[in-house]
Amino acid sequence: MVMVSDPVNELEKRDIRSIPFENLQDEIVALSEPKFRAKQVYQWMHQKFARSYDEMTNIPKNLKAKLSENFRLVSLKQVTVQESKIDGTKKFLFELYDGNVIESVFMKYKFGNSVCISSQVGCRMGCKFCASTLDGVERSLLPGEMLDQIYAISRITGEKISHVVVMGSGEPLDNYDNLLVFIKMLTDENGMNMSQRNLTVSTCGLVPKIKELASHHFQINLALSLHASNQEKRKELMPIANKYEISEVLDACKYYFSETRRQLTFEYSLVGGVNDTDKDAEELVKMLRGINCIVNLIPVNPIKERDFVEPTREHAISFKNKLEKSGINVTIRREMGRDIDGACGQLRRRHVLVEEHFD
Ligand code: SAH
């Protein structure tokens, strides 16, 4: 038997950054402390982005001791950052308390600063062009670990973050319960108080979860990774299409719109010769007719493990024009940080491979 010399194992304690405000109030009362302390502690973590109990200067010592006895307050550690010389995009590699690493991205837009966060370590959805999924999923992230990506980036850059997209590694709806807590905490007035409208969740299309999310009537934006103009092609690129037909996925999205009135986004990674033909554009137009949506074309960012090719810029623009002529709103995703391993999971994967190489 292995003897554990330190009975107070940090990893066995609950993560305090993952506890919503009302629950924290209950916890603090249960520690025989006045309720108002919960607000102070919560604000330290979620407004001032404190990384340790020591930083909480107006909290009495004995409460800090009780808290640290019962809850862990651990923060992401920056491993590396890559900064794009083209557009100022910064891609961070962070280490979690258990040694796993995740990626998060800071992007500057005209409308404000946005952070793209990961929802899992790795991913189990298996989309063919995506680097995050090559080794499957390691684990899901806690609400506090999703929040801390935003907090850490805000601290490091000194910038205000107005928008969040859950579009990094992982499938957010495969980490559904934690995602709901994350949404609640991100939009809490005692925390960042972010407007739901400034949050976008991107999914490969887990139909029952899209419907469940719709039933909450949040004002968050839903982005659906469509990537194909028919069921057959979608199956080739996305294994999840074996589980849910493209028509079911679209129905779930329409339901999301009917419940929330939020315009839908369809992400469509353009893969040269695979889903970027004239016929694809025609089928896509038919499929999306009448849906209040915007199509976001993402010229595929080739990963070295697969031989997908990016369409030429001219071809991507001509694909866009075809959709636009038929009255569909389209944007081509600004190629943020192409010079810095822009594609999801690429940075983490390279890091993990290098680590393994040196182990
Ligand atoms: N699991 C979520 C978030 C994934 S990442 C989802 O499936 O939506 C966000 C978007 O980037 C998805 O649309 C994903 O399919 C796409 N993507 C991932 N790797 C890519 C690559 N190498 N090139 C272009 N798009 C990619």
Write out pLDDT tens, residues 207-223.
999 999 999 999 999 99
Residues in contact with ligand 1 by the CB-under-6-Å rule are 125, 127, 129-130, 167, 171, 202-204, 225, 267, 269, 298, 300-301, 303, 343-344
What is the predicted pLDDT for the residue at 351? 63
Give the other-Cβ count within 10 Å of 75's Cβ.
20
21 and 102 together in one domain: no
Residue 94, SS3 per DSSP: strand
CATH number at residue 351: 3.20.20.70
Q: How far is CA 202 from the centre of its chain?
A: 7
Considering only CA atoms, which of 10, 11, 9, 28 is closest in space to residue 19?
28
What average pLDDT does this structure show over 34-49?
98
One domain for residues 275 and 349? yes
Q: Which residue type occupies 110?
A: K
Which ligand 1 atom minimizes the distance to the CA of 174?
1
Residue 244 is given by DSSP the state S
Kindly tell me if the per-residue pLDDT of 197 is higher than 50. yes
Same domain, 56 and 85: no
204 and 278 housed in the same domain: yes
Mutation choice for ligand 1 from 269, 274, 294, CB with most ligand atoms inside 8 A: 269
The most distant pair of C-alpha atoms in the chain lies apart, rounded to whole Å, by 70
CB neighbour list of residue 200: distance below 8 Å, 6 or more residues apart: 163, 164, 165, 166, 167, 220, 221, 222, 223, 265
Atom number in ligand 1 closest to CA 302? 22
pLDDT value of residue 3: 42
How many domains in the chain? 2
CA of 223, closest atom in ligand 1: 8
pLDDT per position as a tens digit, 92-119: 999 999 999 999 999 999 999 999 999 9
CB 140 within 8 Å of CB 176: no
Domain boundary pick from 16, 37, 72 = 72
How much distance in Å is there from the Cα of 260 to the middle of ligand 1?
24
Tokens found for residue 105: 């991205």
Q: Which residue has the CA at smallest separation from atom 14 of ligand 1?
A: 225
192, amino acid identity: M
Q: Are residues 126 and 221 in the same domain?
A: yes
Q: Structure pTM?
A: 0.93
**Same domain, yes or no: 185 and 280:** yes
pLDDT at 5: 39
Question: Which residues form the domain of 56?
Answer: 7-72
pLDDT at 87: 85
Instruction: Using pLDDT thresholds of 50, 70 and 90, give the confidence band for residue 304.
Output: confident
CB 183 within 8 A of CB 219: no
Region 76-100: mean pLDDT is 94
Task: Flag whether 2 is in a domain.
Answer: no
Tokens of 93: 């590699």
